[in-house]
Amino acid sequence: MKEFDTFTVWLLMNLVMLQSSLSSGDSSVVNPCCHYPCQNAGVCVRFGPDGYKCDCTRTGFYGENCTNPEFWTRVRLMLKPDPALVHYILTHFQWFWDLVNNSFLQDTVMRLVLTVRSDLIPSPPTYNTKYGYLSWESYYNLSYYTRLLPPVPEDCPLPMGTKGKPVLPDVKTLTEKFFRRQKFRPDPQGTNLMFAFMAQHFTHQFFKTNHKVQQGFTKALGHGVDAGHIYGDNLERQHQLRLHKDGHLKYQLVDGEMYPPTVAEVPVHMVYPKGFPMEQRLAIGQEVYGILPGLTMYATIWLREHNRVCDVLKAEHPTWDDEQLFQTSRLIIIGEIINIIIQEYVQHLSGYLLKLKFDPSLLFGVRFQYSNRIALEFCQLYHWHPLMPDSFHIDGEEIPYSQFFYNTSILTHYGVEKLVDAFSRQPAGQIGGGHNSHEVVLKVAEMVIRESRGARMQPFNEYRKRFKLKPYTSFYEFTDDVEMARALEELYGDIDALEFYPGMILEKTRPNSIFGESMVEIGAPFSLKGLLGNPICSPEYWKPSTFGGDAGFSIVKTSTLKKLVCLNTRWCPYVDFHVPRNEEEREPRKPSTEL
């Protein structure tokens, strides 16, 4: 028996060694593209088991890995300032920017900002989650988010390529350890909840991830600013929401004021909890906007604005039918949205002293494509839930999350004016730096990280390189929180294995800024390309006749957040994306219609 056991062990050992020797030729070969060898936007193409070639076409670089700059590239790199220096210049020297903002130089600088940012986003789109190479499917199939970098190859030895640990950190551990709020940290730029709710209301017209499919799919039919969150994302929903008279949308009157109709009146699909009172179920273009009063508030404002614009157009064009009034008003609303987002929302977010300007004609003389596809990377980075406070302060009352979620009665109880005033005065949280997400939104961060893993997104550093930023060399360079750096290093093993979303949110913030360098340098190109790539910004559309004449065109070009609110309310509250800056703004606003 003893001899048999010895023989058996000897035989098994030899069989294992034989199997190992037979398969060693395959197991030792690593897909070379897993090393991300191609730099400067070069494309890695695999040849044979262990061969590859970098396609450096039109990158401005050459060589085996696209690392050698061509002559003019070398000159440009020598003259190009560091992103941190550019940001410093744009946020300092008030006297200089006052001069620029009041001269022809504003157009020149604004055109430069738009082209430099937008050129970083490829058009037509490139990859999707299914195909890590260019394909017709990636271009044509709108049910996918597009993506700038292809997925991590499926045959890589490690989850993030060839660096890091064999198993990615537990998602709950990540969010609890690095995302969970320890103490509310207000944004040093003065961002308020009016901004926070605009961010959510605005972006969810094109961020509609299909969470049932973990492969980067979107439920949105449009890939940009189409106002689908106001009018519905399909024709059937749009027709249900319309009054079919004078171009108007349906509404209900509460104490003589216009609000979205109820689902009983307009039977569109809306997401409400089971047992939620039917009379409080509001029918809105976006099916999830009943979740937060800040979203129903914006839905109400835009509903009123649409119907107001219809009345302006009807006075100008008494012969127009319902359809033309509706369609032209929608174009005006889209123009207003883009104008407010660029000139106030992005202006505030950037902290720039350069006065941003929405003028599509600035790009008419340069190469620019008027189309847009929403990228998975853009959807991922825009989860800014650290903005949310610990509770909500409205008209002297403190409202916890338990009474805030799915409570549409807050809107009709306080009215639009008091909500706008309250949200404009309450500080929002700082997005970057970690440790600032309220516990109720931690599940969202978990979901985002899981989705990024399902889509096999490349490491954070690879995206920094794609946007011409220097990759971080260590976690201690990535964050100025030594304890966080040490813990991240223990979990990930290598800075080149850090995932995209944790990298965007946990990165050290710029001085006195809402978030870090990567969020600005990666997020801004997506934003500006999506806004200026809208059809209404094209030479064919950007003219008075598109908007019903000079009156409609003027509504677009002169729109502001304050006008949007105060032309649609009984009295004008304090309204801004910034908390009150001075004593006058801090004083409670008395009923007034002054603009």
Q: Which residues are catalytic?
A: 204, 382
- Residue 35 token pair: 């090393």
| Gyration radius of the chain's alpha carbons | 27
Which residue type does 493 have?
A: G
Examine residue 389 and say whether the peptide bond preceding it is cis (omega within 30 degrees of 0): no
Looking at residue 291, what DSSP letter applies? S
Q: Which of 403, 399, 194, 427 is nearest to 297 (CA)?
A: 194
Instruction: Let me know: does 191 contact 427? Beta carbons within 8 Å.
Output: yes
Examine residue 124 and say whether the peptide bond preceding it is cis (omega within 30 degrees of 0): yes
DSSP string covering 196-219:
HHHHHHHHTTT--B-TTSTTTBB-
Classify the phi-psi angles of 257: left when phi > 0, otherwise alpha if psi is within -120 to 50, otherwise beta: beta
Element (H, E) at 174: helix 171-174
Give Cβ neighbours of residue 357 (< 8 Å, ≥ 6 apart): 106, 107, 110, 342, 343
Alpha carbons 310 and 329: distance in angstroms, whole number: 6
Instruction: Let me know: does 378 contact 523? Beta carbons within 8 Å.
Output: yes
Instruction: Let me know: does 38 contact 45? Beta carbons within 8 Å.
Output: no
Element (H, E) at 253: strand 252-254
Strand ranges in 314-470 using DSSP code E only, listed in sequence order: 392-394, 397-399
Tokens 């010895």 sit on residue: 6
Helices (H) and strands (E) in the chain, counts: 25, 8
Give Cβ neighbours of residue 491 (< 8 Å, ≥ 6 apart): 165, 169, 173, 174
Alpha carbons 315 and 304: distance in angstroms, whole number: 17
Distance in Å from the first CA to the final CA of the chain: 99
Alpha carbons 522 and 408: distance in angstroms, whole number: 35
- Residue 178 token pair: 């690095």
Alpha carbons 91 and 595: distance in angstroms, whole number: 28
Other C-beta atoms closer than 10 Å to the C-beta of 593 total 10
- Residue 280 token pair: 């409080």
